[in-house]
A and B are shown apart, each in its own frame.
Chain A
Amino acid sequence: MKSIIITTLTVLGIVLLGSFIFMIGKGDSRLEQAANFYQKGEKATTIIERSQAFNQALDLYLQLDRGHHPRHGNGALYYNIGNTYFQLGEYPRAILYYHRAQALQPRNHQIARNLDVVNQKLELQKGSQTNGLGNFFVFNSLLSIPERIQIFFGLCVLFFGFLIVNTWWPYSQLRIGAIVCGIALSLVSLSLIYTYYFSPIKAIIVRPVEMRRDAGLQYAKVDGKLLSAGMEVEVLSTTSSGDWLKIVTPKGELGFVPQSTIEAE
């Protein structure tokens, strides 16, 4: 009986792992097409050619994003989308995708440089840094969420591995290893809990919009100025209908903007 269960589980595991590897390794012709269109756009000798090529590349990249939605991927797709938006002069959306790419590749200097360029073009200040409890987790700005989850996974394997081996063959080194892993695991866990539940939700204004004092066009405007497209803001809450978002600007101004003018990073 035991041997049947073990065999079944082993076969199931192999099938699942094989499917996963097959899925990951499965090629998508749109990747190559998009890259070709992008290169064509870079080499274009007229505005119309460039515009057409970059638009075709963008269309394919956005299709890939909608199809795969790699929010815990390596950010390469978002970087490419950001670049394509940049080439088309859609700077606010370029900022949005650069931020998404940067969240997945926080140590990538190229993304930071591109973000600076596009911020300068829109005459925007750099977004506010993490504050409050966020400063406690210094590694949050160095490690992306997928990386922290991977570290959590690895630490879990080590921690429980040490505990289990120590159960059968008790050694003091194993216990010390388990304690060290346990402490590191606790820190990473707290960091992930903070990120998931308490970290501010950042968003990008994608269309210039006037901030209102309450959720509705009938309410007074805050300051009477337009919020620039591309500005990074913090979302505090949404109305029950979801049509309006309460935000705070980098200058600390509170107000409401329509949901259609803003996109979460």
Chain B
Amino acid sequence: MVKSLILLFLSMMIHVNLFTVDVKVTAGIDDAYANEKGIGSVSITHNYQDKIDLASFRLGSNPLSVTFVKDVPFSSENATVVSIYKFEIPGQNPGLYVLPSVTVRVGDKNYQSFMSSYSVKNEKKSNASKAANSTPVNSAPAPSSPVEPSLRLTAGIEGATSIYPGQRTKFVYHYYYTGTIELATEKLPLLDAQGLIKIGEKEFHDYAEGGVSVSEISQEVEGIKPGKFSFGPSLIEGYSYEVDASGKHVPTSPKISSEVPEVVLTVLPFPTQGKPASFNGTIGKKFQFSVDLIGDKTIVEGDMFSLGINITGEPGTNIKQVPLPEVCCQPGFSGFFRLSDLPPTEEIKDNTKKAIVQLSPLTAKIEEIPSLEFAYFNPETTSYTVLSSQPIPIKVIPRKKASVENPVPAPTKEQSVQPKSNVTPTRTPSMQSPQPIEIEGIYQLHPRDLHDQLFGSWWALLIFPLGIALFIFQYTLHQSILLQRSRGVVETSATLFQKALESSDGSAQYFRLISQALKQSLVEKNVIPSAEIANSELPEQGIAGEIRAFLFELDEDRFTQGRKIDYTKINQSVESLLNKNYGDHLK
């Protein structure tokens, strides 16, 4: 009986496992010889009910013509089959090549194989020559034959090419090379994963594949926000080298480079249809969710108590990144419980995240901690699942009796929203007496409190350059006054003329004083800047011109022999010139 039960259980497990097998697509080139068509095969592991669209086959971005070979069932009792298809590739020169990924639609989704490498060998020898030489075609090269250096790069996504925020996939680079290669350039944008979260460090894996060395570099990434993220093109460059006697690398080949086109990863937005209100971005296949009360079930109103929230994911789930349900916004919590301002403490153990949230009941009427909801999105089924915890009965002891002086107004519609729990308060918590005020009083503000302080903003610093300017101005003014004082008292034209009249007629001093008086009068009338000027430099127009002509005439009379000078007339002329108005010289 027990045995039969175990067998039944095992068969059910196998059945379930086989039904949940992922669709897998693998592609490769079986044989390829120089200048001959190569034969490749595509194997698709899928449920036999999922239809394979023959027209959907693509090699890279080009349509691929395939021929159905056969379906290989796993067993007669399950629905999983491996469908095998053949295809051809055109003839190529001998060397190492990359087979782009093969994309095919199975059911209502597209799947793609991982890129792989293949080598095109030298021409297949004819049966006759084979017989004559009796040498195997694919024999290994003689040890003495040199290895042709080669370097190829492939880039791709190992896993889903379309993910949801929070879901992970893996970027992979493969370096295929022969000989000893030293890399000179590596542009590998997939490893930077801009716009995505990098999970862990890069992983390196080296192995050999059909005489070709392969280095694999992979980086796991996680989607953050929806969008199309393209990375590339990627490029590597290097050269073959030998080590000389001094240990230096001596290049033995020209630079070899390999470039692959950009790789595109799509981060899909979460479907809006059926999205629960409690969904906050958790993604995964399956979770378990529970809530427990830590401590006594009797709580004093307003006192903090701890609630343990446990979320368990399947192995491989990034449980650390799973966000906690937002307790504050869950039905039955808002208005009845107050959440601590401190962030919840979190602990990760195996695949379980245990968080402790502190909150306090706001009313003694609460009888239970309401059920908490935790929602997650399953990317495989593209559906949401909501898990609910069990309500936890508690007893809240009132801290003090509410003392309301005024009659309680009827609660508004918004205030009268009842919690989901069995709480049946006669008054909503918002109508309860609040806690005493801890910090009392504010400043009675005046309009001046709304402005910057007088001379208290950075503009006030302008006083410094203004002060310098004012000081320089004052200093210059002071200096100029001092200079003016040092020149002594300046005689006026009238005093000079008076001195001329007092001196004896015809003397040299008389003529000098007459000349000075006339020139000083021009200075006083702002016609010339200084009286220290030669007669010939006087302007020829206006009053200055008249004085100039008079002075020349006076000199002529003075120095011409035998000419009689009428000093009375001269004095009258000088007086007339001195008394002429300022504007006369303009006439």
Residue contact A70 to B452, C-beta cutoff 8 Å? yes
Residue contact B460 to A121, C-beta cutoff 8 Å? no
* Contact of A72 with B457 at beta-carbon distance under 8 Å, contacts A167-B475, A218-B224 already known: yes
Q: How distant is the Cα of A223 from the Cα of B451 in the complex, in angstroms?
A: 43
Residue contact A117 to B443, C-beta cutoff 8 Å? no
Q: Does A35 contact B (CB under 8 A)?
A: yes
Instruction: Choose among B433, B442, B448 the residue that contacts A80 (Cβ–Cβ < 8 A).
Output: B442
- In the complex, which residues 32-74 of chain A have their Cβ closer than 8 Å to any Cβ of chain B? 34-35, 38, 42, 44-48, 50-51, 64, 67-68, 70-74
Q: Does A157 contact B (CB under 8 A)?
A: yes
* Contact of A159 with B457 at beta-carbon distance under 8 Å, contacts A46-B432, A114-B439 already known: no
Q: Does B464 contact A (CB under 8 A)?
A: yes
* Contact of A71 with B439 at beta-carbon distance under 8 Å, contacts A47-B429, A89-B341, A228-B342 already known: no
Contacts of A157 in B (CB 8 A): 463, 467
Instruction: Choose among A46, A83, A146, A192 the residue that contacts B442 (Cβ–Cβ < 8 A).
Output: A83
Residue contact A168 to B478, C-beta cutoff 8 Å? yes
Contacts of A67 in B (CB 8 A): 450
Contacts of A219 in B (CB 8 A): 198
Interface string of A143-166 (1 = CB under 8 A from B): 001110110110011011001100
Residue contact A45 to B478, C-beta cutoff 8 Å? no
Q: How distant is the Cα of A203 from the Cα of B331 in the complex, in angstroms?
A: 35
Instruction: Choose among A46, A80, A89, A147 the residue that contacts B404 (Cβ–Cβ < 8 A).
Output: A46
Residue contact A74 to B453, C-beta cutoff 8 Å? yes
Q: Does A96 contact B (CB under 8 A)?
A: no
Instruction: Choose among B197, B362, B448, B450 the residue that contacts A218 (Cβ–Cβ < 8 A).
Output: B197
Chain B: CB-nearest residue to A159: B467
Contacts of A51 in B (CB 8 A): 430
Contacts of B448 in A (CB 8 A): 24-25, 74
Q: How distant is the Cα of A35 from the Cα of B446 in the complex, in angstroms?
A: 11
Contacts of B442 in A (CB 8 A): 35, 38, 79-80, 83-84
Instruction: Choose among A35, A42, A122, A163 the residue that contacts B445 (Cβ–Cβ < 8 A).
Output: A35
Contacts of B224 in A (CB 8 A): 217-218
Interface string of A129-153 (1 = CB under 8 A from B): 0000000000000000111011011
Residue contact A83 to B343, C-beta cutoff 8 Å? no
Residue contact A153 to B439, C-beta cutoff 8 Å? no
Chain B: CB-nearest residue to A226: B343
Q: How distant is the Cα of A228 from the Cα of B440 in the complex, in angstroms?
A: 26
Q: Does B34 contact A (CB under 8 A)?
A: no
Q: How distant is the Cα of A91 from the Cα of B362 in the complex, in angstroms?
A: 19
Q: Does B458 contact A (CB under 8 A)?
A: yes
Q: How distant is the Cα of A135 from the Cα of B342 in the complex, in angstroms?
A: 33
Residue contact A160 to B470, C-beta cutoff 8 Å? yes
Q: Does A23 contact B (CB under 8 A)?
A: yes
Q: Does A86 contact B (CB under 8 A)?
A: yes
CB distance from B518 to the nearest CB of A (A): 29
Contacts of A123 in B (CB 8 A): 342
Q: How distant is the Cα of A75 from the Cα of B343 in the complex, in angstroms?
A: 30
Q: How distant is the Cα of A208 from the Cα of B197 in the complex, in angstroms?
A: 20
Q: Does A233 contact B (CB under 8 A)?
A: no
Residue contact A218 to B434, C-beta cutoff 8 Å? no
* Contact of A28 with B467 at beta-carbon distance under 8 Å, contacts A46-B430, A218-B193 already known: no
Residue contact A72 to B445, C-beta cutoff 8 Å? no
Q: Does B567 contact A (CB under 8 A)?
A: no
Q: Does A103 contact B (CB under 8 A)?
A: no
Q: Does B108 contact A (CB under 8 A)?
A: no
Q: How distant is the Cα of A24 from the Cα of B471 in the complex, in angstroms?
A: 31
Contacts of A91 in B (CB 8 A): 341
Q: Does A77 contact B (CB under 8 A)?
A: yes
Instruction: Please report whether the interface of chain B is mostly helix, strand, loop or mixed according to DSSP.
Output: loop
Chain B: CB-nearest residue to A163: B471
Chain A: CB-nearest residue to B196: A218
Residue contact A42 to B446, C-beta cutoff 8 Å? no
Contacts of A251 in B (CB 8 A): none
CB distance from B315 to the nearest CB of A (A): 21
Q: How distant is the Cα of A92 from the Cα of B343 in the complex, in angstroms?
A: 12
CB distance from B136 to the nearest CB of A (A): 52
- In the complex, which residues 412-469 of chain B have their Cβ closer than 8 Å to any Cβ of chain A? 415, 429-434, 437-458, 460-461, 463-464, 467-468
Contacts of A92 in B (CB 8 A): 341
Residue contact A146 to B198, C-beta cutoff 8 Å? no
Q: Does B380 contact A (CB under 8 A)?
A: no
Residue contact A77 to B445, C-beta cutoff 8 Å? yes
- In the complex, which residues 68-115 of chain A have their Cβ closer than 8 Å to any Cβ of chain B? 68, 70-74, 76-77, 79-80, 83-84, 86-87, 89, 91-92, 114
Residue contact A149 to B457, C-beta cutoff 8 Å? yes
Contacts of A31 in B (CB 8 A): 445-447, 450
Residue contact B475 to A45, C-beta cutoff 8 Å? no
CB distance from B104 to the nearest CB of A (A): 32
CB distance from B56 to the nearest CB of A (A): 34
- Among B197, B404, B408, B434: residue with most chain A CB under 10 A: B434
Contacts of A38 in B (CB 8 A): 442
Chain B: CB-nearest residue to A221: B320
Q: How distant is the Cα of A77 from the Cα of B431 in the complex, in angstroms?
A: 30
Q: How distant is the Cα of A214 from the Cα of B275 in the complex, in angstroms?
A: 33
Residue contact B461 to A149, C-beta cutoff 8 Å? yes
Q: Does A257 contact B (CB under 8 A)?
A: no
Q: How distant is the Cα of A3 from the Cα of B184 in the complex, in angstroms?
A: 80
Chain B: CB-nearest residue to A35: B444
* Contact of A48 with B452 at beta-carbon distance under 8 Å, contacts A42-B437, A42-B440, A218-B198 already known: no
Residue contact A74 to B197, C-beta cutoff 8 Å? no
- Among A28, A64, A149: residue with most chain B CB under 10 A: A149
Q: How distant is the Cα of A153 from the Cα of B471 in the complex, in angstroms?
A: 16
Q: How distant is the Cα of A234 from the Cα of B47 in the complex, in angstroms?
A: 59
CB distance from A166 to the nearest CB of B (A): 10
Contacts of A226 in B (CB 8 A): 343
Instruction: Choose among B404, B430, B439 the residue that contacts A86 (Cβ–Cβ < 8 A).
Output: B439
Q: How distant is the Cα of A27 from the Cα of B446 in the complex, in angstroms?
A: 8
Chain B: CB-nearest residue to A68: B450
A selection of 24 A-B contacts at a CB cut-off of 8 Å is: A47-B432, A47-B433, A48-B430, A68-B450, A70-B449, A73-B451, A73-B453, A74-B453, A76-B449, A77-B450, A80-B442, A87-B439, A123-B342, A147-B456, A149-B456, A150-B454, A150-B456, A153-B461, A163-B471, A164-B471, A164-B474, A192-B461, A228-B343, A229-B341
- Nearest 9 pairs of A and B residues by beta carbon: A146-B456, A160-B467, A48-B430, A72-B452, A68-B450, A76-B443, A218-B197, A153-B455, A76-B449
Query: Known contacts A68-B450, A72-B453, A74-B448; can you find 4 more A-B pairs with CB under 8 A?
Result: A24-B448, A25-B448, A48-B415, A167-B471
